[in-house]
Homo-oligomer: A and B are copies of this chain.
Amino acid sequence: MENNLIFVKLGGSLITEKSAPYTINYDAIRRIVKEIKEAIDAKQDLNLLIGHGGGSFPHPIAQSFRTIEGFIQTNSVRGFALCQNAASTLNRIVVDLLLDYGVDAVSIQPTACCIAENGEISDFFIKPIEASINNDITPIVFGDCVFDTIRGCTVVSTEQILTYLSKYIRPSRVLIFELVGGVYTADPQKDKKAKLIPEITVENFSTVESYLGGSYSVDVTGGMLKKVKELLKIAKRGIECEILSGQSGNIKKALKGERGLGTIIKPITLFN
């Protein structure tokens, strides 16, 4: 039996203008928030945990200061502070809009509750997120820079956060909304012959991997291959993931239960 909790990621390139630093895509974000609100209103027992990427807010800073690598140079501390500021600035806009549209959303800042070890989340204070969900409040996490026990600091992606949380707070599904509507045989923004891969399974993963090798949609937290590998960890807990387009009604449809709008990463259990 399914529970009513869905983990949702809103890609940074979906809600910001990736080519222009510190620029929100207000048209997209307003439509998305409206779809989320409509899905919540249509299904009263739906619980969401939403994460969003950083897009053109923290990414250029993280890239310039190489924040993911740690405190590696004299200006790394400054970079960390600026990167967190940028990530939180975007998060404020997202949460503010969700509240404006009637979603009882509360920000949960990863820097404050999460520690990494060599780039992987090793410690997460999850009580506020649990309390939030138990009280019908939608927690909003985000790709953020966090302290790291080995590197000093690093950057963790929304996918890493969702993967970690899925160990302790089991969602029924994980939906990754991006500008690109799924996993393709090549970068669909560059190659017109690129075809959507409807399903990723244990069996076809090595083929998929060969398609994704390289620079397909690279940002500071890794490209599509890293995203898929992260989601496979969730799938290995028996939880279905889907990467799909955040455009034109897809969010509402998917939250209402529709499947197969993008690429499904099939849940992997000991028995299949």
What's the Cα separation between A89 and B92 when bound, in Å?
Answer: 7
Q: Which among B84, B95, B113, B114 is the interface contact of A106 at CB below 8 angstroms?
A: B84
Number of copies: 2
Interface stretch among A37-45, A73-81, A242-250?
A73-81
A194 at the interface (CB under 8 A from B): no
List chain B residues, Cβ under 8 A from A127: 115, 123, 147
Number of A residues contacting the other chain (C-beta, 8 Å)?
39
Q: Which residue of B lies closest to A71 (CB)?
A: B135
Q: Given A109-B109, A127-B123, does the pair A137, B104 have CB atoms closer than 8 Å?
A: no
Q: Which among B80, B85, B135, B147 is the interface contact of A77 at CB below 8 angstroms?
A: B135
Q: How far is the CB of A91 from chain B (nearest CB, A)?
A: 8
Of residues 61 to 105 in A, which have CB atoms within 8 Å of B's CB atoms? 71, 77-78, 80-82, 84-85, 88-89, 92, 95-96, 99, 104-105
Interface residues of A (CB under 8 A from B): 71, 77-78, 80-82, 84-85, 88-89, 92, 95-96, 99, 104-115, 123, 125, 127-128, 131-132, 135-137, 146-147, 152-153
